[in-house]
Chains A and B, each alone.
Chain A
Amino acid sequence: MQDVRDALYIGHRSDGTLTRRPMSPHLQVYRFRLSMFLSIANRAAGVAAAAGSVLGVCWLNAASKGPESFKKVQKVTRNPLGKLALAGWTLALVYHFVAGLRHLAWDAGYRFEKKEINEDGPVAVGVTVGATLVLLASIFGVAACRSRKKKKAS
């Protein structure tokens, strides 16, 4: 035994002889649970939200630079692929927000029993999907109305 940490892996068999205990088992030995997916999804959503925020800063920068830079950004935001990216960013932000509220509740000592966590998981999924759809419909709806109004005016 070279490393002091190995001491923690040494255990006793029932007959008293020493044994090397197994390391923690890997993901594939566990049955799939919604809570484990929601946990890693929160982290993934945080990373995606961060990446989208960087693009959001680019939008802000283009707006402050002038009409020509802003037109370039509009080419992205009005492109179907750009819209898909915006939808993905929205989904990531909404889920990270919902999961964050759950974390704040857990930290305050609420809804942290196993039963409650399993009850809240599907609710979190429903709220995320619903809020994302409503938000996207409103954003694209408002944008469409605005461009129609502008066409009428010109």
Chain B
Amino acid sequence: MNASHTPRIDVMRSQLGRARGLGSAKTGVDHWWLERMSAVALVPLSGWFVLQVLRLAGAEQQDVVEWGGKPANASMLLALMVLTFYHMQLGLQVIIDDYVHGKAHLPASLLLKGAALLIGLFAVIAVLKLALAPSTKAGA
């Protein structure tokens, strides 16, 4: 800023009007709250996930199919997938809000939501396919 430049206030606007224009957007608490709640739900799900990773480390495809065919595993995995990609979308949205300004903000947000939704759906379908595949054990 030029030091010799003396600014003038020529916006005849009251302090209250200014505060109103710059104040709370009246939304955002639900976004913040859902981010925390999905995080809380992901704490036990992550613990379960670590145990399953230890069970499946180095596993072959038929081990994974057998594991995913159990309803308890499939339910936990579905909950994990849905909450992970929901939490991911909430978190990445905040990054977009922080760094993407102006006209690019809306398309960036929509792109993120679309991508998160599609990847989440893809994960859900993969889990369901594992869960609902005919049991390999029964016939053999």
Could you tell me the dominant secondary structure of chain A's interface residues?
helix
Cβ-neighbour of A20 out of B7, B11, B60, B127 (below 8 A): B7
A70 touches B54 (CB 8 A): no
Task: Check if A29 is an interface residue, CB within 8 A of chain B.
Answer: no
- Binary A-proximity of B51-70 (CB < 8 A = 1, otherwise 0): 00110011111101100100
Report whether B129 and A64 are in contact in the complex, using a CB–CB cutoff of 8 Å.
yes
* Interface range on chain A (Cβ under 8 Å from partner): 35 or more
Q: How far is the CB of B121 from chain A (nearest CB, A)?
A: 10
A146 in contact with B57 (CB, 8 Å): yes
CB pair A50 B88 closer than 8 Å: yes
Cβ–Cβ contact A53 & B84, under 8 A: yes
Query: Given contacts A50-B88, A107-B36, A146-B57, is CB(A64)–CB(B7) below 8 Å?
Result: no
Q: Which residues of A contact B11 (CB under 8 A)?
A: 1, 4, 6-7
**Interface: B133 (CB within 8 A):** yes
Give the distance in Å from the alpha carbon of A20 to the alpha carbon of B36 in the complex. 39
CB contacts (< 8 Å) of B123 on chain A: these are: 57, 60-61
Residue A46 lies at the interface, judged by CB distance under 8 Å to chain B? yes
Instruction: Give every chain B residue within 8 A of A61 (Cβ-Cβ).
Output: 122-123, 126
Is B79 engaged at the interface, CB distance under 8 Å to the other chain? no
Give residues 17-60 of B contacting A (CB, 8 Å): 18, 21-22, 36, 39-40, 43, 46, 50, 53-54, 57-60
Instruction: Classify chain B's interface size.
Output: 35 or more
The residue that B8 contacts in the complex, of A5, A9, A18, A101, with Cβ under 8 A, is A18
B54 touches A142 (CB 8 A): yes
The residue that A54 contacts in the complex, of B57, B119, B127, with Cβ under 8 A, is B119
Given contacts A7-B13, A17-B6, A22-B1, 19 further A-B contacts (CB under 8 A): A6-B7, A6-B11, A7-B9, A8-B18, A8-B22, A10-B7, A46-B91, A50-B88, A60-B77, A63-B65, A63-B130, A70-B61, A100-B39, A101-B43, A104-B36, A139-B53, A142-B57, A146-B57, A146-B59
Question: Which are the 7 A-B pairs with shortest beta-carbon distances?
Answer: A143-B58, A70-B61, A142-B57, A146-B58, A64-B129, A63-B64, A143-B57
- Sample (19) of A-B pairs whose CB atoms are under 8 Å apart: A1-B8, A1-B9, A18-B6, A18-B7, A46-B92, A50-B91, A61-B122, A61-B123, A63-B61, A63-B130, A64-B65, A66-B61, A67-B60, A70-B61, A101-B43, A135-B50, A140-B57, A146-B57, A146-B58
